[in-house]
Copies of this chain bind each other. A is one copy, B any other.
Amino acid sequence: MTKKKFSEEVTLEGHIIDSWMLPRAFDTIMDMGGTFDVAEIQVGRAKDQASFARLDVHADSERQLENILLELQSFGATLASRNDVACEPAPADGVLPPEFYSTTHLPTQVRLGGHWVDVQNTEMDLVIVVDPERGEARMVPSASVVKGQLIAVGHEGIRIIPPERPREREIFSFMGSNVSSEHPKRLVIDEIAREMRAIRARGGKVAVVAGPAIVHSGAGPLLAKIIREGYVQVLFGGNAICTHDVESVLFGTSLGVALDTGQPVPHGHRNHMAAINTIRGCGSLRQAVDQGVLKEGIMYECVKNNVELVLAGSVRDDGPMPDVIVDVQQAQRKMRAALEGVEMALMIATMLQSIYTCKMLKASVKVFAVDINPAVATKLADRGTFQALGLVTDAELFIRELSDALAICEKQEAKAKKPAKA
C-alpha cells in the first residue's frame, strides 16, 4: 500500500448512525481513493442522544483530499475549517460567480463572523445570497439573483443537517430498496388518511399535485369531496385537470367520454374546447363560480374553500383556461410561495408538476407519489430522504380508497370521543 501523504481530521456529529452519515462517510472516502482511521467513535444509546465520530482522512494529493472533504460535507460532515463562508458578487442579473455553491433540500447553515447562521428557505439547486452586514443568508433561485449580490462560493463555512431516519414511522419503511407495486397499499392509504386528519386538526397544510387522469377516470367528485372537507390547502395542476374538471361538470364527459357510462357521446370531442371557451367567456374560474356557471367539482371546491390553486401552463395546453399561468417562471414563483408551511405533499398521476414540486420541497416534508408507471413513482420518491414513498397504483382506485379511509378515520375518532354511557 502506498502511503497517503495528505491528511485532515473530520468530525461527524448528530444522528450519524440514523442519518447513515457514518457509513456513507466510510464508503465515500474509499470510493474516492482515500483511506481513513477512526480516531474516535461514540454512539448514542438512545434516540435522543447524539453520536460523534472523528476520522483522520488520508489522500494521495491535495486535490483528492479536497474532493473527498467536499463530498463528505455534502451529506453533513463538518470540516475542521474555521473560516467564514466565502462570497463573490453576481456579475450580472441572473448570472452567478463561477464557483457558486448549489444548495440541497436539507437545512443549511453558513458561518458568518465566526458564528453558524441558519440559511433562510430550503430548496434544492438554489444559491445562497449572503448579507454579511445583517448576518443573514437565504436561498434564492439563480434567475432572481441581482447583479452585485453576494453569492456563497466554494464549500468552506457551509454545513448541512442531514435528516434522521424516523424509526417509529413504519409507513416509510417500505421504501427500503424498492418502490413496489405489490405491497399492501391500503395500509399506506390508512396512514395517509390519519396524517391528513392530524394536519387538518392542527391547522397545517397539505398540498395535492393532481393530474388529469383523476377526472378522466371518474374520481373527480371524490377529490372534490376531500377538498370540501378541508383536507387540502394547496392544489397544483395544469390546464388539463382544470379543463377535464370543468368539462365533467358542464357536460358530464371527460375528453368526450361520458363519465356515467364510459361511452363516447356524439360530438363529445369538442366538449373539451367548449369547456375552455365557457370559462374564457366568464373571465376566470372564480367568475364562473360567482356567475353560477360552475357549480361543483374540483375547481369549484378550490375556489369556494380558498385553496391556494396554482395552474401552471405547459406547451401541450389547449386554450388555455384563463387561470392558467402561461409564464412558467411566474408559475414557479407562485408555487414556491404556496408551498410555505406545507407538511405533506400528495402527487397523483402527474409527472410534470410533481417534478418541480418535489424539487421545491424541503427534505422534511412528507411526500407520497402515486403513479401507475413504476418509473415515475420511483423518480418522484427518489429524494434521498426517509420521508418519501412511491406508490405504484391506479389514481382512480387510490382516491376511492383514500376517501373511504378518511371516512373510516372520522368514524373511529368520533367513536373514541363519545363518552361511555352512565
Contact = CB atoms under 8 A, between A and B. Distances in A.
A100 B277 contact: yes
| Total copies of this chain within the assembly | 4
A108 interface: no
B170 A217 contact: no
Interface in A202-237: 213, 216-218
Interface in A238-274: 238, 257, 259-263, 266-267, 269-270, 272-274
A16 B171 CA distance: 29
A326 interface: yes
A102 interface: yes
Given A142-B276, A266-B70, A316-B355, A183 B32 contact: no
Contacts of A186: 218, 396-397, 400
Interface in A168-191: 170-171, 173-174, 177-178, 181-188
A143 B165 CA distance: 42
A166 to B, nearest CB: 11
Interface in A304-340: 312-320, 326-329, 331-332, 335
Interface string A92-103: 101110101110
Q: What is the interface of chain A mostly: helix, strand, loop, or mixed?
A: mixed
A315 B327 contact: no
Contact of A182 (B1, B217, B401): B217
Contact of A397 (B46, B259, B397): B397
A343 interface: no
Contacts of A352: 314-316, 352
A198 interface: no
A120 to B, nearest CB: 19
Contacts of A353: 315-316
A43 B36 contact: yes
For the complex of A and B, the 10 pairs showing the least CB-CB separation, nearest first, are A23-B23, A184-B218, A397-B397, A102-B270, A312-B315, A67-B266, A1-B46, A316-B356, A393-B394, A316-B355
